[in-house]
């Protein structure tokens, strides 16, 4: 771990535990900070809080009392999921206390460079592809952030010869001061998390922070097919490496003659890539760009692309039962992700969708739903999704209580040759703690079918 004076002997309030807050507290204690941890979960059922208390760290549980800020704090480090309109955070901002996320701590203690990947969709797939390409190319990568281990835990043990490949959310990027990845990737921007950010422009601003501390010696890999990405990168001084699935690009990556080219160098034929779905070509182009920037060989890149079939919960093939192919796309927590999932298939699709109601309608999904044979809907958004399905002309739309029931209903509606696709277009939090939990329930339900 690199020594840093930024947090040494500083008074720091950690708001929200879970994995990131727990890891940050342990690292900050090693750095010699004076820490108070605050979590809304009551102490008697809060294992992380109990463990920190045993280490001699002050913990305040059961809510976010305003009087916490009567003490002097140099920084607040918050869990990314806690919104900035939380009254405790509002008061902290009024007092001028910097509010950071754990990724800022990771940056300051790391001896290794960071590669940061963000975007509304495709982050996990792209992050995993980059990690696998760098590993195959013997570049000593480590994986961190929303995928894998908490970033500051990875950064704590990273050495200079490592490269930390990090998936970053807009929530995390809002809490940075100095964080500057050597290579920043922005895949796309879609109307997501507006319940958190308020407006699309604020969401774009949050994503754009991935570039703000980069220098002319750094790189940004950008999707030039997305006008919002181009807006986000306008002020960046980093060296730009563009990619496009639709337009020839001489100074970046593109698709020509059914093959992928990097600066006019042919890398791989599209037909040789095993990862399904046209939408994944964006993720693949971005991953190749990063791999080439760190001098991974074409052989290593090709080896990964001819072996890599996807990540769990992202258009993950589960099994075939009597000619019905089941796919788990539980990580599709917004409309764009579900649009792309549906478009990956030429066969008839029975779509399982629903979840947390964030206030949006699903009109943007209607055109893609015209390709769907039947829908099984559940959760808070079931009625809204049914409305979109009817606008698309879908005649068979069934309501069920949960994902498990949706699997049985979808199988009963299906025929040999159909695709049964869980791609919810919604966050999972109305019924599940995480999209992973939702996906695992789907997988288990598929395996229970007879």
Asked if residue 3 is part of any domain, the answer here is no
Residue 212 shares a structural domain with residue 235: yes
Whether 144 and 276 map to the same domain: the answer is yes
> CB-based contacts of 85: which residues, under 8 Å, 6+ apart?
none
pLDDT of residue 192: 54
Indicate the number of domains in the chain.
3
Evaluate whether residue 6 is within a structural domain: no
> Taking phi first (over 0 means left), then psi (-120 to 50 degrees means alpha), and beta for anything else, what does residue 374 get?
beta
Identify the band that residue 196 occupies on the pLDDT scale cut at 50, 70 and 90: low
* pLDDT (0 to 100) of residue 367: 96
Please check whether residues 133 and 202 belong to one and the same domain: yes
pLDDT at 198: 61
Domain limit, last residue, from 255, 280, 305: 305
User: What average pLDDT does range 374-391 have in this prediction?
Assistant: 98
Tell me whether residue 380 is exposed, middle or buried, using C-beta atoms within 10 angstroms of its C-beta: 0 to 12, 13 to 18, 19 or more. Answer: middle
Co-location of 133 and 66 in the same domain: no
- Confirm whether 166 is domain-assigned: yes
Residue 442 lies in a domain: yes
Whether residues 110 and 96 fall in one domain: no
Contacts of 329 by beta carbon, 8 Å cutoff, 6+ apart: 313, 314, 315, 316, 337, 338, 341, 421, 422, 423, 424
CA dist 115 and 219 (Å) reads 10
Q: Which two tokens stand for residue 111?
A: 């001896």
CATH number at residue 54: 3.40.50.720
Q: Domain containing 335 — which CATH number? A: 3.90.190.20
> Domain of 198: which CATH number?
3.40.1190.10
Q: Confidence band (pLDDT; 50, 70, 90) for 272? A: very high
At 46-89, the pLDDT tens digits run: 999 999 999 999 999 999 999 999 999 999 999 988 888 899 99
Q: In the chain, what percentage of residues exceed pLDDT 90?
A: 85
pLDDT attached to residue 286: 98
- Going by pLDDT thresholds of 50, 70 and 90, the confidence category of residue 372 is very high
* Rounded Cα–Cα distance for residues 291 and 139 (Å): 10
Q: Is the distance from CB of 117 to CB of 166 less than 8 angstroms? A: yes
Q: What is the pLDDT of residue 428?
A: 96
425, two tokens: 């277009």
Asked if residue 300 is part of any domain, the answer here is yes
Residue 392 structural domain = 316-448
Residue 5 placed within a domain: no
Nearest to 344 by CA among 320, 310, 300, 319: 310
pLDDT of amino acid 346 = 86
Q: Do strands 324-328 and 349-354 pair parallel, antiparallel, or not at all (unpaired)?
A: unpaired
Query: What are the tens digits of pLDDT across the range 137-179?
Result: 999 999 997 777 899 999 999 999 999 999 999 889 999 999 9
Predicted local confidence at residue 191, as pLDDT: 64
121 and 89 in a common domain: no
Q: Are residues 95 and 111 in the same domain?
A: no
Q: Give yes or no for a contact between 146 and 106, defined as CB atoms under 8 angstroms apart.
A: no
Q: What is the mean pLDDT of residues 245-256?
A: 95
Domain end point (choices 61, 85, 100): 100
Q: Give the domain-ending residue among 305, 334, 359.
A: 305
User: What is the predicted pLDDT for the residue at 340?
Assistant: 87
Strand ranges, E, within 106-246: 113-118, 141-145, 163-167, 183-186, 219-223, 239-243
| In-domain check, residue 2 | no
Pair (364, 443) in one structural domain: yes
Across the chain, what does the average pLDDT equal?
Answer: 94
Question: How does pLDDT run across 84-137, given as a tens digit for each residue?
Answer: 889 999 999 999 999 999 999 999 999 999 999 999 888 989 999 999 999 999
Say what the pLDDT of residue 290 is.
98
pLDDT digits 0-9 by tens, 320-353:
999 999 999 999 999 988 998 999 898 999 999 9
Residues 261 and 363 in one domain: no
| 310: in domain | no
Residues 328, 444 within the same domain: yes
Question: Are residue 279 and residue 130 in the same domain, yes or no?
Answer: yes
Query: Which residue reads 């947090």 in tokens?
Result: 7
Residues 32 and 162 in one domain: no
**CA dist list (Å): 255 to 212, 221, 284:** 29, 16, 11
């Amino acid at each position: 771990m690199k020594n840093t004076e930024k947090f040494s002997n500083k008074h720091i309030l950690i708001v929200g535990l879970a994995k990131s807050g727990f890891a940050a507290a342990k690292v900050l204690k090693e750095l010699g900070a004076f820490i108070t941890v605050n979590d809304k979960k009551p102490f008697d059922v809060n294992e992380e809080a109990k463990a920190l208390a045993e280490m001699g760290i002050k913990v305040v549980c059961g809510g976010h009392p305003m009087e916490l800020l009567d003490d002097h704090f140099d920084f607040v480090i918050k869990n990314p999921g806690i919104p900035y309109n939380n009254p405790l955070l509002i008061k902290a901002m009024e007092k001028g206390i910097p509010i950071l996320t754990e990724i800022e701590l990771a940056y300051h203690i790391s001896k290794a460079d960071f590669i940061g990947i963000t975007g509304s969709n495709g982050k996990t797939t792209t992050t995993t592809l980059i990690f696998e390409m760098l590993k195959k190319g013997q570049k000593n990568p480590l994986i961190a952030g929303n995928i894998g281990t908490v970033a500051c835990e990875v950064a704590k043990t990273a050495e200079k010869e490592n490269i930390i490949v990090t998936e970053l959310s807009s929530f995390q990027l809002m809490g940075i001061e100095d964080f500057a990845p050597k290579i920043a990737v922005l895949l796309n921007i879609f109307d997501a998390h507006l319940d958190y950010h308020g407006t699309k422009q604020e969401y774009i601003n949050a994503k754009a922070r991935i570039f703000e501390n980069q220098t002319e010696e750094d790189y940004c890999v950008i999707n030039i097919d997305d006008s919002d990405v181009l807006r986000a990168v306008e002020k960046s001084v980093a060296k730009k490496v563009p990619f496009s699935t639709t337009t020839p690009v001489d100074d970046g990556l593109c698709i020509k003659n059914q093959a992928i080219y990097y600066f006019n160098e042919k890398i791989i034929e599209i037909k040789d890539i095993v990862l399904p779905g046209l939408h994944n070509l964006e993720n693949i182009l971005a991953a190749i760009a990063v791999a080439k920037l760190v001098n991974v060989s074409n052989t290593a890149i090709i080896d990964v692309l001819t072996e890599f079939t996807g990540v769990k919960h992202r258009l993950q093939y589960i099994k075939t039962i009597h000619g019905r192919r089941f796919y788990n796309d539980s990580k599709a927590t917004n409309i764009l992700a579900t649009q792309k999932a549906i478009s990956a298939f030429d066969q008839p699709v029975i779509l399982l969708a629903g979840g947390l109601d964030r206030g949006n309608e699903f009109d943007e999904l209607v055109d893609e739903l015209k390709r769907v044979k039947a829908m099984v809907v559940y959760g808070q958004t079931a009625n809204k999704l049914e409305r979109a399905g009817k606008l698309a002309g879908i005649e068979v739309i069934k309501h069920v209580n949960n994902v498990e029931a949706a699997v049985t209903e979808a199988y009963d509606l299906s025929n040999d040759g159909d695709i049964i696709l869980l791609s919810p277009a919604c966050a999972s939090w109305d019924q599940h703690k995480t999209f992973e939990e939702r996906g695992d329930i789907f997988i288990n339900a598929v395996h229970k079918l007879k």
